[in-house]
Amino acid sequence: MEQRYTEEIEIDLLDLIYHVALKWKMILVWMILGALALGGFSFLSSYKEAEQQKNSQVEVSAGDVLENEQKEEVLTLYNQVKGAQYLIDNTQEYMSESVLMNLDVNNVVSGEITYLIKTSDVTKLSAIESAYEKLLVRDNILSELTQKVNKDIKSYGLKKKLDQKYVKELISVSAGDREQNDVDGTKVYVQNNMQNNTQSILSVYVYGENQNFCEAVADTLMNHMSSVEKEIKDKVGEYRLSYITSRYSKGYSEYVYTAQNNKVSSLADNQGKVNSLVTAAGLDDNQKAYLKELLQESNSSAKQVKKQVVKTQIKPSVSKKYVLIGAVLGAFAICAYVFVFYLISGRLHTEDQVESIYGIKQLGVIIEEKKKSVDSWIYRIFKGRQRKFAYDESFHMIEAGIKVVVEKKKYQRVLLTGSYMNEKQEKFIDHMMKVLMDAGIEVMKTPCVLYDPQAMLDMATADAVVLVEELEKSLNLDIRKELEVFTRQGVDVIGTVIFE
């Protein structure tokens, strides 16, 4: 009975995506065409609107002259920059109000009060030091300092009354043995020479515009040392605090320089972020004016928002949204075309398709060497995990497979043919014929037996046939018809060689 072959083809989704990805050049071209088409349409629409309103210009605020799309662009940018702008406004306000930020870094009056902490329990030393660093700048002490200084701001070198929140940053407390730059510029090295490291140096630093201010702050802190000491002893235990010295000098201050430089750097970073976002957005003058209004409205310190008044003047423009939509539609259209063509083309798509549909053994796959390109990169993504044989390796595996079957079945004459032939396959068949003939096997080749009468006659004299097919070129219909012809003529099919 004649064997009938049916084409129940399962679609491999991964292979389908792979074939779509290989059309990246075509996808890119269609994206460009789609973007140009819809971009041109948006420009023409904008041009017509501009011509219609050319002679009807009135003065309105910046936000009112913008189209919804332009407003959306500004609002999107506003949401990106408002956080940085808030930090800029706060930093600028702080730098204008803070005493520390307005000190001349080269003419800072600095004071240092030095104490010696001594305890019999070395494990308590760190806790004692940390307690002084926190308690000497707590709110009640800062409040007392603020009230004291504000009673006579002129004598303390202040231009206006001092806010308590700016007092804390004029005081720094540090503890521990160290080599320290003294306030008068000399090196003071305090060395712990007690057994078991049971002593430490506590230094309190004060900064200001004149010595009267520093002395007032230092006196207040020294007056609270005893109460702070008692509080720490209640929590930590007994220790001894001894006053060593107080010193004052005027000159360059690294502490003040670092504090000011950090704020300036922070301000510059945020301003740079805002400027770069605004520049990248490519806003026109009206959009920039609208953004400025929004930022002014969001600043609670602004007394009154002054809106810029501009004249309506619509300029023809290309809508970015339409360009993006056009690119997406172009890509979608070509991907849909590739998808439909993949389904209805009837071509051989995967190397195991012949075996899965027709039950014909696959002798091997010849993979064309791909040069480094986007195609090779796509190939590695989708098929990189499959073992890839070099041409010679695949050739010899196919040769061995044919020899084994011929020897086992005692075939006298073997035919090499295929439904689709090109130069690569011709070269392969010629090479295989030479190798098999050298091994004593009678071999012949023909074009597709479906379309060549002489090929049909030659096929009838063969005992077995090897099909040579190529992915995306060979048609499943032709392969099925070939197999039916071989079956009718009693010619066995040894297997298939697939060119990828």
Instruction: State the CATH number of the domain containing residue 471.
Output: 3.40.50.300
Question: What's CA 403's distance to the chain center, in Å?
Answer: 56
296 domain-assigned = no
What is the pLDDT at residue 55?
Answer: 52
What is the pLDDT at residue 11?
Answer: 67
pLDDT, tens digit, 9 for 90 and up, residues 367-395: 876 666 777 777 777 766 666 778 888 89
Identify whether the C-beta of residue 490 lies closer than 8 Å to the C-beta of residue 462: no
Burial 344-362 (b: 16+ CB within 10 A, else e): eeebbbbbebbeebbebeb
379 domain-assigned = yes
pTM, 2 dp = 0.45
Across 408-420, average pLDDT: 90
Which range, 153-167, 171-185, 446-460, is most confident? 446-460
CA-wise closest residue to 428 among 362, 358, 368, 494: 368
Whether residue 303 is predicted with pLDDT greater than 70 in this model: the reply is no
The domain boundary residue, chosen from 203, 231, 251: 251
406 domain-assigned = yes
Average pLDDT of the chain, as a whole number: 81
Instruction: State the CATH number of the domain containing residue 181.
Output: 3.30.70.1130
CB atoms within 10 A of CB 259: 20
- Confidence at 280, pLDDT banded by 50, 70, 90: confident
In this structure, the answer to whether residues 360 and 472 fall within a common structural domain is: yes
- Return the beta strands (E) in 300-354 as ranges: 309-311
82 domain-assigned = no
- Tell me which DSSP letter residue 169 carries: G
In this structure, the answer to whether residues 353 and 494 fall within a common structural domain is: yes
The residue behind tokens 């060593």 is 244
Which range, 165-179, 298-312, 354-368, is most confident? 354-368
The domain boundary residue, chosen from 251, 278, 296: 251
- Confidence at 190, pLDDT banded by 50, 70, 90: very low
CA-wise closest residue to 146 among 168, 131, 124, 128: 168
Q: Letter for the amino acid at 488?
A: R
DSSP-based three-state secondary structure for 117: strand
Percent of the chain scoring above 70 in pLDDT: 85
In this structure, the answer to whether residues 212 and 355 fall within a common structural domain is: no
Domains held by the chain: number: 2
The domain boundary residue, chosen from 224, 251, 278: 251
301 domain-assigned = no
- Return the beta strands (E) in 160-263 as ranges: 171-175, 178-181, 187-190, 199-208, 240-251
| Domain carrying residue 199 | 107-251
In this structure, the answer to whether residues 352 and 489 fall within a common structural domain is: yes
Where would I find the H helices in 352-422? Answer: 353-358, 374-383, 391-409
Across 183-190, average pLDDT: 39
342 domain-assigned = no
The residue behind tokens 């993979």 is 367
pLDDT, tens digit, 9 for 90 and up, residues 43-86: 888 888 777 766 554 555 666 667 788 888 878 888 888 888 88
In this structure, the answer to whether residues 363 and 228 fall within a common structural domain is: no
What is the pLDDT at residue 390?
Answer: 81
320-324-325 Cα angle (round to 5): 115
450 domain-assigned = yes
In this structure, the answer to whether residues 244 and 363 fall within a common structural domain is: no
In this structure, the answer to whether residues 240 and 352 fall within a common structural domain is: no
Alpha carbon distance 320, 286 (integer Å) = 18
